[in-house]
Amino acid sequence: MSPHQVDEKLQGIYQDVLKRNPGEVEFHQAVAEVLESLGPVVTKHPEYLERKIIERICEPERQIIFRVPWQDDKGQVHINRGFRVEFNSALGPYKGGLRFHPSVYLGIIKFLGFEQIFKNSLTGMPIGGGKGGSDFDPKGRSDDEIMRFCQSFITELYRHLGEHTDVPAGDIGVGGREIGYMFGQYKRITNRWEAGVLTGKGLKWGGSLVRTEATGYGATFFINEALKVRKDSFDGKICTVSGSGNVAIYTIEKIHQLGGKCVACSDSNGVIFHEKGLDLDLIKQLKEVERRRIEDYASYHKDAKYIAGGNIWDIPCQVAMPSATQNEINGKDAKTLVKNGCIAVGEGANMPTTPEGVKVFLDAKIAYGPGKAANAGGVATSALEMQQNAQRDSWSFEDTEKKLENIMKGIHRLCHETAEEYGATGNYVLGANIAGFTKVADAMVAHGLV
């Protein structure tokens, strides 16, 4: 992203971030995207500049990098690298997922952690921002290998965690199985049943109903609100959802419940297109139960088409929900979507649209829900899980889903009203960045120089 889009008052801050964090391109992108919105904010609140609030927000409170040695089933020793970036605790304990994927390095964890600060702020829950993970690849590994890796990982990380300090959850490559192995090892080392230390737990041992569905449901609720503002709805809309993991599956489910029709989803190998609407039960069976590739869908539905290495954004739709990974929609993809009649984009993934793509969506004035607002349902429900753990309580699915829906409506309203207040009605990027930032900034001012 070219720095000239950042207000001149913030230009020096951005240059410092580039200098202090060389090579961390995703982190640079996330910082620039927030700073671009903050020009009018620092004009209105000069105290943020005087107290160096932005510089302090861009520098994590703590960055932990460690070695993770483990043995595979053949007795071979492997060494991975583990990370936890505890970014900002102005609003509460650090909260954010753990990602296990070969692409993980410090820059990705910092970008995710930085986004998490503002996302968590928008939920209205008392949680700070953090993120972690490892360059370990769980694909093709046995349950025993994953258990040994998770135990080694948490044996180092546990000393930095705690329900009042830092509460990780899952992300790409970390689901209920991995959380279970990490929780078991944490309990064993600390000799404490501290349910609130990890979220995304199994329902029988401290987990929350709706947690699995939360990110996908939440993103769909957000876009539903954005469509309502435009006197529209999901009813009868053709939708495409990238990915076929947890976020994608429950985005598809909620879209179907709200009357939309999803015709395509994907995985890292290719795209499945089923014009009459995706068979969600089959996707759940293939992905959640059998852990197979999405191309196998076509062998059950002869009228579905599998496009190996295809681009899901080439398929015409009215609503697009990127739910796979960062930077999956570039400027060209965004133009294709708009040209093909797309009226709304809801980001279930973190920063799935490049800066060029974001500009295309904003210029076209479509309903564009950026990740830090649209996908905040996952972490919001993690915070609801923490509440239940603190109360030694367990809520019903309906009750928890209603709370999630109300949180997402609140996030939409906050982003919408903030954008309006700053003269950019309908610009949820600006609204989310400013609303998320000011709450954290005010807390930091109140806490003094720490």
Q: Residues 6 or more apart from 140 whose CB is under 8 A from it?
A: none
Which residues are catalytically annotated? 131
Place of tokens 């015709």: 263
Tell whether 389 is in a known binding site: no
CB-CB neighbours of 256 under 10 Å:
17
Q: Does 382 count as an annotated binding residue?
A: yes
**Residue 165, marked binder:** no
Asked if 35 contacts 6 with a C-beta cutoff of 8 angstroms, the reply is yes
Residue 381, strand partner residues: none
Sheet with 94-100: strands ordered across: 62-71, 77-88, 128-134, 94-100, 166-170
The residues with which 77 forms a beta bridge, in sequence order, are 71
> Do the annotations mark residue 425 as ligand-binding?
no
DSSP H or E stretch at residue 87: strand 77-88
Annotated binding residue 139: no
d(C-alpha 361, C-alpha 371), whole Å: 14
DSSP state of 162: B
DSSP-derived secondary structure letter, 191: T
Q: Report in angstroms the alpha-carbon separations of 322 from 20, 68, 219, 437.
A: 31, 32, 10, 24
Residue 326, both tokens: 């960062």
SS3 assignment for 313-381 = HHCCCCEEECCCCCCCECHHHHHHHHHCCCCEEECCCCCCECHHHHHHHHHHCCEEECHHHHCCHHHHH
Give me the sheet containing 319-321, strands edge to edge: 305-308, 270-273, 261-267, 238-241, 319-321, 344-346, 367-369
Tell how far CA 151 is from the center of its chain.
25
Report the candidate in 251, 245, 241, 192 with the shortest Cα–Cα distance to residue 220. Answer: 251
Helix axes 8-20, 25-35, angle to 10 degrees: 160
Calculate the dihedral angle through the C-alpha atoms of 17, 66, 113, 311, rounding to the nearest 10 degrees: 100
Whether residue 119 is annotated as binding a ligand: the answer is yes
**Cα separations in angstroms, 351 against 94, 101, 347, 375, 401:** 20, 17, 8, 10, 25
Question: Where is 219: in which H helix or E strand?
Answer: helix 214-229
* CA–CA distance, 202 with 190 (Å, rounded to integer): 20
Q: Is position 116 annotated in a ligand binding site?
A: yes
Residues making up the annotated binding site for substrate are: 95, 116, 119, 170, 382
Binding positions for NAD(+) are 215, 246
Feature table: binding site: 95, 116, 119, 170, 215, 246, 382
